[in-house]
Chains A and B, each alone.
Chain A
Amino acid sequence: MNIRPRRQEYDVIVVGSGMSGGWAAKELTELGARVLVLEAGPMIVPERDYAEHLPTYEMPYRGWNDRKALAAEQPVQRECYACDEVARKFFVNDIDNPYTTHDGRPFLWIRGRQVGGRSIMWARQCYRLSDLDFEANARDGHGVDWPIRYADIAPWYDHVEAFAGISGRAEGLPQVPDGVFLPPMPMSCVEEHVAGAIDRAFGGRRRMTIGRTAVLTVDHRGRSACHYCGPCHRGCRTRSYFSSINATLPAAEATGLLTLRPNSVVPSVIWDPAAGRVTGVRVIDAQSHDELEFHARTVFLAASALESTRILLNSTSPDFPDGLANSSGVLGKYLMDHTMGVGARATFDGWEDRTTRGRRPNGIYVARFANVTEPSPDFLRGYGYQGSASRAGWGRGVSMAGYGADFKHELMRPGPWSFGINGFGECLPREENHVALDPEQVDKWGIPALRISCEWSGNERAMMRDAALQAAEMLEASGGRDITIDDEMTPPGLTIHEMGTARMGRDPATSVLNAHNQAWDVPNLFVVDGAAMTSSACQNPSLTYMALAARASHYAVWAVRRGEI
Chain B
Amino acid sequence: MKRRQAIGVLGGVAAGPLVMPSAAFKELLDWGRRVRESSAQPPTASLLTPPRTRVMAALAEVVIPETDTPGASEAGVTEFVAALVDGWLDDEDRDLFLEGLDTVDPAARERFGADFADCAPEQRSEYVGELDAEVARLREDPDGTASSHFFHHVKRFTITAYFTSEAGLAALGHRISFRAFEGCAPLTPAESAPSSGSAAARPSGPSAAATPPCDAP
Q: Which residues of A contact B (CB under 8 A)?
A: 53, 55-57, 60-64, 66-68, 70-72, 75-76, 79-82, 84, 101, 103, 106-108, 123-124, 185-189, 191-192, 211, 224-233, 238, 340-341, 343, 345, 351, 353-363, 386-388, 390, 393-395, 397-399, 401-409, 411-414, 420-422, 424, 468, 484-488, 490-491, 494-495
Contact of B171 with A361 in the complex, beta carbons under 8 Å: no
A401 CB contacts on chain B under 8 angstroms: 132-133, 135-136, 139
B129 CB contacts on chain A under 8 angstroms: 403
A185 vs B184: C-alpha distance when bound (angstroms): 12
Query: Which residues of B, 1-30, contact A by the 8 Å Cβ criterion?
Result: 1, 3-20, 22, 24-26, 28-29
A14 vs B216: C-alpha distance when bound (angstroms): 36
Given known A-B contacts A57-B166, A413-B192, A395 and B4 have beta carbons under 8 A apart: no
| Most chain A beta-carbon contacts within 10 A, residue among B10, B177, B184 | B10
Given known A-B contacts A192-B183, A230-B13, A405-B195, A488 and B39 have beta carbons under 8 A apart: no
Given known A-B contacts A356-B182, A387-B9, A405 and B65 have beta carbons under 8 A apart: yes
A192 CB contacts on chain B under 8 angstroms: 183-184
Contact of A486 with B3 in the complex, beta carbons under 8 Å: yes
Query: Which residues of B, 75-95, contact A by the 8 Å Cβ criterion?
Result: 80, 83-84, 87-88
Contact of B195 with A402 in the complex, beta carbons under 8 Å: no
User: Does B160 lie at the interface of the complex (its beta carbon under 8 Å from any beta carbon of A)?
Assistant: yes
Q: Which residues of B contact A (CB under 8 A)?
A: 1, 3-20, 22, 24-26, 28-29, 31-36, 38-39, 62-65, 67, 80, 83-84, 87-88, 125, 128-129, 132-133, 135-136, 139, 146, 155-156, 159-161, 163-166, 169, 171-172, 176-187, 190-192, 194-195, 197-198, 215-217
A81 CB contacts on chain B under 8 angstroms: 8, 14-18
Give the Cβ gap from B182 to chain A, nearest Cβ, in Å.
4
Give the Cβ gap from B64 to chain A, nearest Cβ, in Å.
5
A494 vs B22: C-alpha distance when bound (angstroms): 13
Q: Which residue of A lies closest to B42 (CB)?
A: A68
Contact of B177 with A356 in the complex, beta carbons under 8 Å: no
Task: For the A-B complex with A186-B184, A345-B4 known, give 4 more contacts whose Cβ atoms are closer than 8 Å.
Answer: A84-B14, A401-B139, A405-B195, A486-B3
Give the 6 A-B CB pairs with smallest separation, nearest first.
A106-B25, A358-B178, A75-B32, A71-B35, A363-B10, A56-B164
Given known A-B contacts A68-B87, A229-B176, A494-B18, A57 and B184 have beta carbons under 8 A apart: no
Contact of A386 with B9 in the complex, beta carbons under 8 Å: yes
Contact of A224 with B32 in the complex, beta carbons under 8 Å: no
A354 CB contacts on chain B under 8 angstroms: 184-187
8 Å CB contact of A407 from B20, B63, B164, B184 = B63
Contact of A361 with B4 in the complex, beta carbons under 8 Å: no
Contact of A359 with B17 in the complex, beta carbons under 8 Å: no
Q: Which residue of B lies closest to A339 (CB)?
A: B17
A413 vs B191: C-alpha distance when bound (angstroms): 5
| 24 A-B interface contacts by CB (under 8 A) | A61-B87, A61-B88, A62-B161, A63-B164, A71-B34, A75-B29, A80-B18, A84-B14, A227-B177, A340-B17, A341-B20, A345-B7, A356-B11, A356-B181, A358-B181, A359-B11, A361-B10, A362-B10, A386-B10, A397-B159, A404-B125, A405-B195, A488-B19, A494-B17
| Most chain A beta-carbon contacts within 10 A, residue among B24, B186, B197 | B24
A393 vs B160: C-alpha distance when bound (angstroms): 11
Given known A-B contacts A79-B28, A227-B217, A403-B132, A485 and B1 have beta carbons under 8 A apart: yes
Contact of A422 with B7 in the complex, beta carbons under 8 Å: yes
Give the Cβ gap from B141 to chain A, nearest Cβ, in Å.
14
B185 CB contacts on chain A under 8 angstroms: 354-357
A486 CB contacts on chain B under 8 angstroms: 3-4, 6-7, 19
Give the Cβ gap from A550 to chain B, nearest Cβ, in Å.
25
Given known A-B contacts A72-B36, A233-B15, A361-B13, A485 and B4 have beta carbons under 8 A apart: yes
8 Å CB contact of A227 from B64, B65, B161, B179 = B179
Contact of B18 with A490 in the complex, beta carbons under 8 Å: yes
B64 CB contacts on chain A under 8 angstroms: 403, 407-408
Contact of B13 with A359 in the complex, beta carbons under 8 Å: yes
A487 vs B216: C-alpha distance when bound (angstroms): 40
A488 vs B24: C-alpha distance when bound (angstroms): 12
Given known A-B contacts A227-B178, A411-B163, A486-B7, A353 and B187 have beta carbons under 8 A apart: yes
Q: Which residue of A lies closest to B4 (CB)?
A: A484
A57 vs B80: C-alpha distance when bound (angstroms): 9
Contact of B181 with A228 in the complex, beta carbons under 8 Å: yes
